[in-house]
Structure formats: structure tokens, C-alpha cells
């Protein structure tokens, strides 16, 4: 069994991620895809993938986090994509539930397209957030 979308990079697991992985493996989970949602969580996903053989990473900017992005964040995401344990770009998409202003919707669309282009450039699938 593969956990194809988990957030072991969440701060709630920072003290016990090793035990969480161990329990999951005891219950049949063989591999984990830790999905990033901003630059910090994407970087942490990659670090976890480097530490644990059974962990892989997806890196990207969640649509709700686009408004907090800095101009260089996409460059940093692209740099992370070069790591052999990064399997996908994600968690990306469109989410207008919280961001109802047209300007934020346009920004989400722009960064969704840019991240799809990064995925294509690096021949990676995408992990799409949908609400």
C-alpha cells in the first residue's frame, strides 16, 4: 500500500514523524508521498524524503498560499524539483472558497499555470487540490 498524499511535513508531526512512519509501515504502508503546500513545507518534504528511504516528495504552492508567496519562491520550487526523490509538483490548483476577490483568483490561475509549466519542463505529474 502507498500513501499517495500525506503531510508528514506538518509541524504536528515534527516530534514524532519517525513513530508515525513506523506505525504506518506496521499496518502495511510501504511508501509515502509527502506533499508540499508552500516553500517551507515543500523543503521539509524533500528533507524527509532524503532521511527516509520509503518517503518521496511533491513540491509546490497551494492556491490558498499564493498570496503569501515571495517572488523567488517558484525558483526555489524549481530547484527542489531537481532532487531525485521529488516525484511530482503539488499541491497546486484553484481554490476560491477563501479567496473570493477577482485579483486573488487571477493570481491563483497565474501560479497554477506556472506550476503546470514547471511540471511539464521537469516531466513530473501534478497533485491537484480541488474543492
Supply the pLDDT for residue 26.
98
CA–CA dist 131, 113 (Å, integer): 18
Supply the pLDDT for residue 23.
98
CA–CA dist 73, 62 (Å, integer): 12
Roughly what angle, to the nearest 10 degrees, separates helices 102-121 and 73-80?
A: 30
Supply the pLDDT for residue 100.
75
Give domain 2-129's CATH number out of 3.40.50.300, 3.40.30.10, 3.20.20.140, 3.50.50.60. 3.20.20.140
Closest alpha carbon to 90 in 104, 72, 71, 111? 111
Does residue 113 surpass a pLDDT of 80?
yes
With a threshold of 0.85, does the pTM exceed it?
Answer: yes
Supply the pLDDT for residue 35.
98
User: Mean pLDDT, to the nearest integer, of 23-43?
Assistant: 98
Question: Per residue in 44-88, pLDDT tens?
Answer: 999 999 999 999 999 999 999 988 888 799 999 999 999 999 999
- Distance in angstroms between the alpha carbons of the first and the last residue of the chain: 25
Question: Per residue in 82-102, pLDDT tens?
Answer: 999 999 999 999 998 877 778
Supply the pLDDT for residue 101.
79
Sequence-distant (≥ 6) Cβ neighbours of residue 29 within 8 angstroms? 1, 2, 3
User: Mean pLDDT, to the nearest integer, of 102-118?
Assistant: 93
Amino acid at each position: 500500500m502507498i500513501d499517495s498524499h500525506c503531510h508528514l511535513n506538518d509541524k504536528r508531526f515534527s516530534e514524532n514523524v519517525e513513530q508515525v512512519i513506523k506505525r504506518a509501515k506496521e499496518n502495511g504502508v510501504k511508501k509515502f508521498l509527502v506533499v508540499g503546500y508552500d516553500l517551507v513545507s515543500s523543503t521539509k518534504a524533500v528533507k524527509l524524503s532524503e532521511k527516509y528511504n520509503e518517503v518521496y516528495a511533491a513540491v509546490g504552492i497551494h492556491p490558498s498560499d499564493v498570496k503569501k508567496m515571495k517572488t523567488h519562491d517558484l525558483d526555489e520550487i524549481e530547484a527542489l524539483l531537481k532532487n531525485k526523490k521529488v516525484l511530482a509538483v503539488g499541491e497546486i490548483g484553484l481554490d476560491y472558497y477563501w479567496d473570493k476577490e477577482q485579483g486573488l483568483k487571477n493570481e491563483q490561475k497565474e501560479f497554477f499555470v506556472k506550476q503546470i509549466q514547471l511540471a511539464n519542463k521537469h516531466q513530473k505529474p501534478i497533485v491537484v487540490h480541488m474543492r
